Amino acid sequence: MIAPPDPNSGLYVVVLQIQARLCVDVGALGPLHFDAGTCLYVGSARRNLRQRIARHLAATKRVRWHVDYLTTNPGVRVVGAVVVTGASWSECALNQSLGASLDGAVPVPRFGNSDCRAHCPAHLWWHGGVVSLQDVAALVPAAQIVVGTARTAG
């Protein structure tokens, strides 16, 4: 018997608005510059997807992953996330598809992909304009929009 997919596992895209150019010291990657615009961070969770998304949307947390340096920065607004459960594609396939579909740029090589096996340039995309949760959801089949409390990190 094949077990059904875990509804608390899947892929996600966190949408971040960078208000103005900023410099962020991102652990081993060092000080990094980000231009104003929208960043899309692509990730996955094999379990505890809801908790992972809640953590990404939280303003206060222990900094653990590259994206935490952005989500806790006062110059970054965490808009929300787009979640896909039971997806037939991988995190890297979603990542590459989003980058191509949105004509995104890689703001920082290797950002968010320390465990990537598909040689993605990064799992963070930047776009100079506004990219909404609805824009992202329209590109991802069976996506659900998750919006946390409206807040600016910090």
Q: pLDDT tens, 8-50?
A: 889 999 999 999 999 999 988 899 999 999 999 999 998 899 9
* pTM for this predicted structure: 0.89
Q: How many residues does the chain have?
A: 154
Residue at 4 is within a domain? no
DSSP 116: -
32 within 8 A of 75, measured Cβ to Cβ: no
Residues 135, 120: Cα–Cα separation, whole Å: 22
Residue at 3 is within a domain? no
Residue at 106 is within a domain? yes
Please report the pLDDT score of residue 5 as a whole number: 52
Residue at 51 is within a domain? yes
Residue at 151 is within a domain? no
Q: How many domains does the chain have?
A: 1
> What is the residue whose two structure tokens read 């895209």?
13
Residue at 152 is within a domain? no
Which range of residues forms the domain containing residue 79?
Answer: 10-146
Residue at 154 is within a domain? no
Residues 72, 82: Cα–Cα separation, whole Å: 19
